[in-house]
Structure 1
Amino acid sequence: MSNTTQQQQQQPPSFESKRLDPASNVAAAAASRPGHRRSVSAGAPLIYSGGATLLPSGNICPSGKILKPVLPSRGPNRTDVLGSGTVNYGRGSIMRGGGGNPVAAGASPLTVRRALSGSDPEEARRLGNELYRSGSFAEALALYDRAVAISPGNAACQSNRAAALTAVGRLGEAARECLEAVKLEPAFARAHKRLASLYLRFGQVENSRRHLCLSGIQEDQSEEQKLLLLEKHLNRCADARKFGDWKRALRESESSISVGSYCSPQIVACKAEAYLKLHQLEDAESSLLNIPKLEGCPPACSQTKFFGMVGEAYVPFVSAQVEMAMGRFENAVAVAEKASLLDYSNIEISRIVNVVKMVARTRLRGNDLFSSGKFSEACSAYGEGLKYDNSNYILYCNRAICWSKLGLWEQSVQDCNQALSIQPNYTKALFRRAASNAKLERWAEVVKDYQVLKHELPNNNEVAESLRQAQLALEKSRLVVYGTKFGVEVEEISALDKFKAAIASAGVSVVYFKEASNELCEELSPFINTLCVRYPSVKFIKVDVEECLVIAKAESIRSVPTFKIYKKGEKVKEMIRPNHQLLEDSVRKSSSV
């Protein structure tokens, strides 16, 4: 049996109030039986409510036998009964006077209502203790609220209220209550100990260490070891961030959380920043959505420095960068300005504010120029934005469509590649890259992009049809490589009967009437070969009107180049000297009908 338990059994039971209800009398009687003790189980810290000769009522303690030589004596020389100190401090069973007996949950609704409307802070606190012990933390909090309202100068009531706030997850307010308690009673060891535990959760090493020291508790150094480990991880994280080693920054921030700082908004924000720099945008956004909300925190929490900036400003600083990366430029500007207001003198924050504003401005100007058909100027505007943020996939993709409008397919593909390296499977970039690669006749690449798009957009008929056309074009291009002439070259016909048979066959036929000596025909011929590969389901036929006068006369050809489109022997369209765009649009429309 431990020394603590032995000393507890030797102490006479003591009670916080003579006005006990029957259920409390039963519990008190149980507490007085020799040899009766309660084993400390995993869970929350213990709330004590002993008399004036013992520990201060309302203290919530960790476990073990611990002496407090640095504090003024509060009665007979005795030891405290403490909780483990290794679990979430502020949760657990409520004990009477250090006797080790659990209090029965005897707080009837009528008794609770009387306490809530009464003027006795001790009664409200006593009933709050019983409800707390039974796990009714919200109800206990209401009674502690009443006790504090009746007796605002009672440090023990403030401390018990902090325990209930911790239990219901309102950790910021719990820290504020503990600070109020130590203001009222500077030597209040339990409140200092709880503050140390809360600050550890918040990732604030110096604040935690200061209150651990002020608690005057000499224990197994487990808390100090946690603080040393947290301090080591945070320092490493700061170094990694400084040198741009974001994989290491991510590891160290996760290690800091595992030490116990899982309620630190700044450390979670550091994870988000690392994910952002590693181009894992979804993870970055998810981390920001899961940042703990420490409402009601005292100024000591929000003003603590993280990575050289005010802690409260670091979260919007990271949020602004994520918002910008996700293309929400207006939100990014608003959040960046919020960070600047919280820490206006920080150089890093000032730089981000400037970057966000400039990127948003250039993107808006680029959009306006594009809408006006000024594609070259729009390219320049988006390029200016990329000088400020060279990892913005939205700007790369916007510039890619400008390049394609200018017929600069290679540049368009390169910008789409940049966008997709930052945001894989970004559908706009996939569509634009596929279109540009089709112009460059890179059918294998086109097929790959449409396959990804089909997986992302399984019900999109346009994607399915584009994939089919690309696969046919790829097959034709492979046949050309292998030297096969079937279905991959423009068929030349010189006999009228063969001509009539060809245009009467199933499917779409495009007839190209030309003269070898005509310059315009000479310029169009390579493009007809390209269309033959691009639209493999269409049959392309060429007729030299100088060599085939019979066909030219039968078809009434008076000028070259002339194009006629047939479907099952019926003419559906005729064009004389069309440009490339009109010709391809007509072929595409006829093939899709």
Structure 2
Amino acid sequence: MLDVLPFSFLMHLIDLHASLQFRLGQVENVRRHLFFPGQHPDPAELHKLQSFEKHLNRCADSRKIGDWKSVVRETDAAMAIGVDSSPQLVACKAEALLKLHQIEDADCCLSNMPRFEHYPPSSQVKFFGMVAEAYVLYVRAQVEMALGRFENAVSATEKAELIDCNNLDIATLLKNVKMVARARTRGNDLFSSGRYAEACSAYGEGLKYDTCNSVLYCNRAVCWSKLGFYEKSIEDCNEALKIQPNYTKALLRRAASNGKLGRWSEAVGDYEALRKELPRDNEVAEYLHHAQIALRKSSGEFTNNMKLGGEVEEVSSLENFKAAISSPGVSIVHFKVESSEKCEEISPFVNTLCIRYPLVHFFKVDVEESLAVAKAEGIRTIPTFKIYKNGDKVKEMICPSHQILEESVRSYSL
């Protein structure tokens, strides 16, 4: 009995070690364990190993022909059978996602990758022609560069070269990331100095070494815009968005350039996409609002009877008041008296809002001169503001701050 227990315990440890190696995707180590002299391989474990090798081979074949969707599918299948902690397999999926222009997903994939220092090294095992650890760094460098983190990309590639110094793909990538990082730095310096044409050239030089870098395209688009070349700005934004479809900076720049060219329908489309990406961004909400107004103006939607900004219109009779709040759209009524300091303080701001939100109808009622209106509306405190939408009251505010008043106007005007 004393002789059996230690041997049993030893075999248990060996099995645990083999299980860990399988999770790490270390095929040769698992194979050596299964075919250890003097024991028969477990059929279930052997089947899992063969399944993993099948998915890995399919990954390699799909990678060679650029079938990146199949690469994602095969890596997911390999992870599903238990190879869920392999840095190389995670990197393979991240590389495929990058090639499919799902850059944020690729970055997230790498962020959840097991760290090398927590797992045994694969001892110069090759993965797609590179030392396994070098391949992981090679992929990480490409993702870092795609996201504009050029210094990180240089660092990752240098580490990859130290591990696999004879690999031509790594050497080529290192040269490219250094040239791109240098071009971006030079472009940024020139842009900061107001030398926009030279900055355009610098960013263009970087694009020679990385033709699919959305950050460089977007940076150059800003320069074209500064120079008044809005068509070129839009072209570069289009290229950036082909690579990174949800790139908010490129959407914002393209929308602004379309606005400069009077293409309000395209600008509205971009701002609406930005609102989905940045639902709480008040600045984007305002840009969208103004673009919508410009689009309606350009399409002749406004009639001569519709007020588009300017002075707040005064209403004195009850009949005129009812007609005013029944206007289509949103109406803001400021109930005030001339002798009130609070009314005197907020009135200029109401005039500003009237200009800032030209689609909203702004009215003012002097409750001392229009007693019938004040009585009908139950006004007891001034200043009071009421918001009406298509004739129905939707909100009432007594002595609101400037911030609360504008937030309410913006909310109901969108």
Task: Calculate the TM-score normalised by the size of structure 1.
Answer: 0.49
Preserved CA contact (<8 Å) 2:135 2:160:
yes
Equivalent residue, structure 2, for 1:466: 287
How far is the alpha carbon of 1:365 from its aligned partner? Answer: 1.0
Work out whether 1:228 is the aligned partner of 2:25.
Answer: no
Partner-residue secondary structure (3-state), 2:115: coil
Work out whether 1:59 is the aligned partner of 2:9.
Answer: yes
**Correspondence list, 1:94-243, <5 A:** 163=13, 191=14, 193-243=15-65
Cα distance in 2 between the residues matched to 1:316 and 1:282: 17
Cα distance in 1 between the residues matched to 2:221 and 2:153: 23
Q: Report the residue type matching 1:59 in the other structure.
A: F
Cα distance in 2 between the residues matched to 1:425 and 1:200: 37
Cα distance in 2 between the residues matched to 1:344 and 1:302: 15
Cα distance in 1 between the residues matched to 2:305 and 2:98: 49
Distance 1:296 1:281, change over 3 A: closer
Name which of 270, 276, 281 aligns with 1:449.
270
Distance 1:373 1:475, change over 3 A: same
Q: Report the residue type matching 1:229 in the other structure.
A: S
Equivalent residue, structure 1, for 2:201: 380
Distance 1:217 1:278, change over 3 A: same
Preserved CA contact (<8 Å) 1:400 1:416:
yes
Equivalent residue, structure 1, for 2:185: 364
Cα distance in 2 between the residues matched to 1:536 and 1:202: 60
Name which of 195, 205, 226 aligns with 1:405.
226
How far is the alpha carbon of 1:324 from its aligned partner? Answer: 0.9
Name which of 168, 174, 177 aligns with 1:347.
168
How far is the alpha carbon of 1:431 from its aligned partner? Answer: 1.8
Equivalent residue, structure 1, for 2:107: 285
Preserved CA contact (<8 Å) 1:195 1:211:
no
Percent of residue pairs bearing the same amino acid type: 58
Equivalent residue, structure 1, for 2:81: 259
Cα distance in 2 between the residues matched to 1:376 and 1:404: 11
Work out whether 1:414 is the aligned partner of 2:235.
Answer: yes
Equivalent residue, structure 2, for 1:112: none
Cα distance in 2 between the residues matched to 1:449 and 1:376: 26
Partner-residue secondary structure (3-state), 1:263: coil
How far is the alpha carbon of 1:248 from its aligned partner? Answer: 1.0
Preserved CA contact (<8 Å) 1:198 1:208:
no
How far is the alpha carbon of 1:399 from its aligned partner? Answer: 0.6
Distance 1:296 1:422, change over 3 A: closer
Work out whether 1:313 is the aligned partner of 2:134.
Answer: yes
Cα distance in 2 between the residues matched to 1:487 and 1:420: 41
How far is the alpha carbon of 1:296 from its aligned partner? Answer: 6.1
Q: Deviation digits for residues 91-148 of structure 1, max 9, x if unmatched?
A: xxxxxxxxxxxxxxxxxxxxxxxxxxxxxxxxxxxxxxxxxxxxxxxxxxxxxxxxxx
**Correspondence list, 1:503-542, <5 A:** 506=311
If asked which structure has higher relative contact order (CA below 8 Å, sep 6+), I would say 2
Aligned residues: 315
Cα distance in 1 between the residues matched to 2:120 and 2:260: 62
Cα distance in 1 between the residues matched to 2:6 and 2:270: 71
Name which of 66, 72, 95 aligns with 1:273.
95
Which one is further off, 385-394 or 359-368? 385-394
How far is the alpha carbon of 1:336 from its aligned partner? Answer: 1.0
Q: Report the residue type matching 1:279 in the other structure.
A: H
How far is the alpha carbon of 1:395 from its aligned partner? Answer: 0.6
Cα distance in 1 between the residues matched to 2:274 and 2:200: 26
Cα distance in 1 between the residues matched to 2:233 and 2:104: 25
Cα distance in 1 between the residues matched to 2:197 and 2:287: 28
Preserved CA contact (<8 Å) 2:35 2:41:
no
Preserved CA contact (<8 Å) 1:325 1:392:
yes
How far is the alpha carbon of 1:342 from its aligned partner? Answer: 0.8
Larger-gyration structure (1/2): 1
Name which of 293, 297, 311 aligns with 1:476.
297
Partner-residue secondary structure (3-state), 1:59: helix
Partner-residue secondary structure (3-state), 2:204: helix
Ranges in structure 2 where 5+ consecutive residues have no aligned partner: 313-355, 360-414
How far is the alpha carbon of 1:204 from its aligned partner? Answer: 2.0
Preserved CA contact (<8 Å) 2:218 2:240:
yes
Cα distance in 2 between the residues matched to 1:223 and 1:58: 19
Equivalent residue, structure 1, for 2:249: 428
Cα distance in 1 between the residues matched to 2:118 and 2:265: 59
Q: Report the residue type matching 1:479 in the other structure.
A: G
Distance 1:456 1:222, change over 3 A: closer
Distance 1:536 1:442, change over 3 A: farther
Distance 1:261 1:440, change over 3 A: same
Partner-residue secondary structure (3-state), 1:214: coil
Distance 1:415 1:225, change over 3 A: same
How far is the alpha carbon of 1:537 from its aligned partner? Answer: 5.1
Cα distance in 1 between the residues matched to 2:305 and 2:205: 47
Preserved CA contact (<8 Å) 2:264 2:294:
yes
Distance 1:443 1:226, change over 3 A: same
Cα distance in 1 between the residues matched to 2:28 and 2:246: 44
Cα distance in 1 between the residues matched to 2:41 and 2:275: 63
Equivalent residue, structure 1, for 2:67: 245
Equivalent residue, structure 1, for 2:215: 394
Equivalent residue, structure 1, for 2:390: none
Cα distance in 2 between the residues matched to 1:213 and 1:357: 47
Q: Deviation digits for residues 538-578 of structure 1, max 9, x if unmatched?
A: 9xxxxxxxxxxxxxxxxxxxxxxxxxxxxxxxxxxxxxxxx
Cα distance in 1 between the residues matched to 2:37 and 2:116: 23
Larger fraction in helix: 2
Preserved CA contact (<8 Å) 1:403 1:412:
yes
| Structure 1 outlier segments of 4+, above 4 Å | 296-299, 484-488, 535-538
How far is the alpha carbon of 1:220 from its aligned partner? Answer: 4.7
How far is the alpha carbon of 1:259 from its aligned partner? Answer: 2.4
